[in-house]
Structure 1
């Protein structure tokens, strides 16, 4: 310690932090304690003399005082009252002080008795001794208490200067519980400085000793004036509109925005990991679809399930959700080797009691697929395998036909042939009035699947689900923007006016499971996806949530629409009608359909063209199958003329 202080003082740095003073030497503590004893002795004498109006009656006052101090110091040495680190004093240290003072009083009282026997007088009067015992003990105790509290205050101050100064949004029980948990956990990097509410009647009130600020005050002052770094919100306690309103204000004021779990999900052990930066997904989330768990469970419990594209974003989530209903077997099929291996490792760890079979295969290879239907008596088939990236499929339309159309045909036909109870196809909103090959190929697959429903002898219920962009899926815009922001920009957007619908992966898969339960065959289910989101607004919010300023710290540039891309996605075709279901978030789209013989012959034509790698012929036939298909920003626009 001395070397450290000497280097600071004589090495040019004259600032000595309290953190550099580890602890005082024991002999200094003993000297301070003796000084307290001397003061206590004189103070007790002064009090007695003032009360009795008489001076100390003994001639050799200094000898008596010295004897008492020596005896007390001796017992302090015996009980090592000076040995502990004061700022870490405990009840044990307090007990040692009490014992040493008590032993001192008993010893002096014993000397008094012997002194009286031999001299007939008193060494010291009992009132002096009792008062000295009380004052000396209190003095020694308060010295340690004040030192302990002083270091605690200094430590908390130093911690608070290093922590983020945050407000807690809300003054309800949930918000108070979160604030108390943060205050009680000194290891967290947050320091609660107050609460925030929309109410205006709480200006002079406080919670947990912290002030309550109104929304009006936040609007009128900057975060520098408020001495606040950020805000913690509890997402579950607010509606989407309330959350957007608050977040807009916080982003405008450049606050860091953190989200905390609800009290029901809160555990002290993982509170630090539960408080995270607010993500753009939190602002786009809606209330999830309400699943009739018993109906879904009965469809999957002890059944054999096939999931194609089971290693993809949607397919893997379907596998996760289906596994919760304890099927007898889940066959996961995908042509991507590494993602299939990853989902295998995850499923075998999370669901060791479920039987899985992971199959590396292409859905367009009938000779590879049919043995699976022969071997396993599938009850449910979820068909999520597809090529979905618009520019890639636009450049390679023949490959899109092979997987999206031929693959769907093979899986659906085999499902009917082997009497699968239900076939659920995952489609896309890009199949509605398509402007690209990918969307048109999915619409062609929809038409074929629908047509199978009315084929003579068919016992399978064919069901289609259609939804928009999925948050966090492979290749989706949000992970793409995140990578660009982490790299320092720029963030690239194809067009300033482009808008898209969004939903989460769990929501999408809940729709698929719900549709498989409620469908009677031949339906196309669409989801009420709320309001579309402008991609430019999405990018700006993501940049702000990352702590940057759009077009200052992170540039936004426009690259132009990609081949086949359109500004607005639709969930329903122009001439489609919708029917409600018992779930207000799910509707049935009554799109035009085709007879099986007609669509089958057209599928044969486009498949032969795809095998020949004749791109133009593939798209020309596809436009015949899907007459509403109008190419946009694509070389195939010439075919529309």
Structure 2
């Protein structure tokens, strides 16, 4: 019913326009004839007047049919632009030619001024009827915005290019009644003191702060999709000090698709201020690596694991097996992938723990994965400090059991998700992740030397030794080491956001604490590329650029939320937590760096250690862990990871 009423409304408008055009096209040429003979009706020669009157019905029908064909009665004229103008020009040219040829051939040659002024007046009348409505609405909106009783947002747009112009036009012609573009900022001096859509370009980034104050700006829209992350970061770091609401265009694809609209803007996130361009990966190589293979992701419901599953699913795997202990996360990623891929993706979702020998063996034996991404781990530093036995059982022993199952069941690649906290660790979590790396290095060497059978049996499973008689293990083991992941479970940013939403305080452990940061997609891209580059035994390291002070991160997030640090929201220093250190390292001092084809991905040369001695120590550590003897476990970790220097917690 609503749609029917809507169509009838525009049919009425079309009827009004049609009647208007009928009068306008004839009045135009009559006025031209009238002007030719000194504005005197009696002076018009009868033959000219008779020719005009006889040709008028023919000309009227032709004009109305042509206008209808060119859709001059179907356009929403409040949004009229160059396309509509061009159609009116085409209609005017065609009707003028028809008028000249038609009346001359059928009746009589009219005075030149009749043809000339008739065409001009008709164009003005037809154009005015259409665009006059639009100009009226623009004027009405302008005065409406100046009404002090109505709420309004004064908007500054940064970027006087195509994106900025399209954004201004969308605000002016759209339904953003509370937004009013006051000025535009651009670093190009050639654009200063000029107008875009009647909005002045007032200067470069150096005048942002003073312009915000002078003009009362409360919103800033960044419309430079072609700018690098570093360039955007520099501008946003200026804007965040103004206290204005900040929004940004996500990327260049919107400009290419003509999608520059206010509705497409996103709130500026704190990661936009980090000033590092995203890591790029050759997805063609990764596609060839993953396509047609059975892939197992342990911890597949977590932040990194679930993103791994998303990206793997796009690369046409033969089968994707998701394995996790937490069923809610598995359910979420399962539903997401099924909605997106349906039956096109052979998806298997399994619940279980990597600590369960029989369960992990069963999974490998049944599904025979070609590639394993081992993301299952306990990662929360303070919690692992008070539960070191669980960290050992899940991280170190769980990795051992999964790596063993991979070797015994013909897996081609095994990729461990590690962390920069494994470098010179000061906490249990980092130390156990270093133990995971040592497990990987041990298995890789054993596979290459053909000594997997010499590794201790911790499965207690009858079929495991029989596997060695069937084939020779060929698994290539690698580890991928990276820093903190923005937005992941346990990340500091979600914590800060909750604290800000609650009115503070925002808690930072130390004013000088620094961390490396990367996004979840970047981390996963690195993991996938590491799997492709792997030859066995490597520790891949991402060059994450300059580290970030957590204190700066907290204060920037407060500013982006529209508050002032230590005035609206308190920043409180709570002291380093158990196992926490001021800075993280990407490599140990003894490790070197080897380049890869991706200049931001490096290979750390592994530190040599006695593999047999390590396995004996790991088995002893496992005994104490399953007996929940925390003190003995810590002592064992210290003996295994010689670079482990814990804080004074033990």
What's the TM-score bracket when you normalise by the shorter of the two chains? Answer: 0.7 to 0.9
Deviation at 1:272, TM superposition (A): 4.0
2:226 is the alignment partner of 1:211:
no
The equivalent of 1:544 in structure 2 is 559
2:144 is the alignment partner of 1:158:
yes
The CA distance in 2 between the partners of 1:196 and 1:230, in whole Å, is: 13
The equivalent of 1:526 in structure 2 is 541
2:357 is the alignment partner of 1:366:
yes
Aligned with 1:325: secondary structure? coil
Tell me which of 529, 541, 546 is aligned to 1:514: 529
Structure 1's 234 and 380: CA in aligned 2 closer, same or farther, altered over 3 A?
farther
CA contact (8 A) 1:432 1:570 kept: yes
The CA distance in 2 between the partners of 1:373 and 1:406, in whole Å, is: 17
2:396 is the alignment partner of 1:405:
yes
Structure 1's 216 and 286: CA in aligned 2 closer, same or farther, altered over 3 A?
closer
The CA distance in 1 between the partners of 2:251 and 2:403, in whole Å, is: 44
The CA distance in 1 between the partners of 2:475 and 2:171, in whole Å, is: 56
2:288 is the alignment partner of 1:298:
yes
Structure 1's 307 and 188: CA in aligned 2 closer, same or farther, altered over 3 A?
farther
CA contact (8 A) 1:451 1:593 kept: no
CA contact (8 A) 1:304 1:378 kept: yes
CA contact (8 A) 2:163 2:224 kept: no
Write the mapping of 1:433-472 to structure 2, written as runs, cut at 5 A: 433-455=424-446, 456-457=449-450, 458-472=473-487
Tell me which of 276, 280, 284 is aligned to 1:286: 276
Aligned with 1:231: secondary structure? strand
Q: Using structure 1 for the length normalisation, give the TM-score.
A: 0.74
The equivalent of 2:91 in structure 1 is none
The CA distance in 2 between the partners of 1:445 and 1:362, in whole Å, is: 16
2:649 is the alignment partner of 1:635:
yes
2:563 is the alignment partner of 1:574:
no
2:632 is the alignment partner of 1:617:
yes
Aligned with 1:193: secondary structure? strand
Aligned with 1:459: secondary structure? coil
Structure 1's 564 and 601: CA in aligned 2 closer, same or farther, altered over 3 A?
same
Write the mapping of 1:135-150 to structure 2, written as runs, cut at 5 A: none
CA contact (8 A) 2:186 2:205 kept: no
Structure 1's 449 and 148: CA in aligned 2 closer, same or farther, altered over 3 A?
closer
Structure 1's 556 and 617: CA in aligned 2 closer, same or farther, altered over 3 A?
same
Between Structure 1 and Structure 2, whose CA radius of gyration is higher? 1
Aligned with 2:365: secondary structure? helix
Aligned with 1:570: secondary structure? coil
CA contact (8 A) 2:420 2:586 kept: yes
The CA distance in 2 between the partners of 1:332 and 1:480, in whole Å, is: 28
Deviation at 1:298, TM superposition (A): 1.6
The CA distance in 2 between the partners of 1:173 and 1:89, in whole Å, is: 22
Aligned with 1:351: secondary structure? helix
The CA distance in 2 between the partners of 1:348 and 1:620, in whole Å, is: 47
CA contact (8 A) 1:284 1:503 kept: no
- CA offsets per residue over residues 292-317 of structure 1, 9 Å max, x none? 22221122111100000000000000
CA contact (8 A) 1:174 1:262 kept: no
- CA offsets per residue over residues 371-411 of structure 1, 9 Å max, x none? 11111121100000000000100000000000000100001
The equivalent of 2:317 in structure 1 is 327
Write the mapping of 1:17-96 to structure 2, written as runs, cut at 5 A: none
CA contact (8 A) 1:235 1:261 kept: no
> Gaps spanning 5+ residues in structure 1: where?
1-43, 54-87, 91-137, 637-641
The CA distance in 2 between the partners of 1:361 and 1:216, in whole Å, is: 55
CA contact (8 A) 2:250 2:266 kept: no
Structure 1's 593 and 190: CA in aligned 2 closer, same or farther, altered over 3 A?
farther
Deviation at 1:262, TM superposition (A): 4.0
The CA distance in 1 between the partners of 2:608 and 2:429, in whole Å, is: 19
> Gaps spanning 5+ residues in structure 2: where?
1-30, 41-76, 80-123, 451-472
Write the mapping of 1:105-144 to structure 2, written as runs, cut at 5 A: none
Larger mean CA deviation between 285-294 and 310-319 belongs to: 285-294
Deviation at 1:183, TM superposition (A): 2.9
Deviation at 1:191, TM superposition (A): 2.6
Structure 1's 148 and 182: CA in aligned 2 closer, same or farther, altered over 3 A?
closer
Q: Using structure 2 for the length normalisation, give the TM-score.
A: 0.73
The CA distance in 2 between the partners of 1:142 and 1:350, in whole Å, is: 50
Question: Number of residues paired by the alignment?
Answer: 513
CA contact (8 A) 2:270 2:557 kept: yes
CA contact (8 A) 1:306 1:381 kept: yes
Structure 1's 292 and 277: CA in aligned 2 closer, same or farther, altered over 3 A?
closer
Aligned with 1:167: secondary structure? strand
Runs of 4+ in 1 over 4 A off after TM superposition: 141-152, 266-270
2:169 is the alignment partner of 1:180:
yes
CA contact (8 A) 1:451 1:594 kept: no
The CA distance in 2 between the partners of 1:265 and 1:335, in whole Å, is: 40
Aligned with 1:575: secondary structure? coil
CA contact (8 A) 1:314 1:473 kept: yes
The CA distance in 2 between the partners of 1:415 and 1:148, in whole Å, is: 69
Structure 1's 291 and 216: CA in aligned 2 closer, same or farther, altered over 3 A?
closer
Aligned with 2:379: secondary structure? coil
Structure 1's 52 and 309: CA in aligned 2 closer, same or farther, altered over 3 A?
closer
Structure 1's 371 and 250: CA in aligned 2 closer, same or farther, altered over 3 A?
same
The CA distance in 1 between the partners of 2:565 and 2:619, in whole Å, is: 51
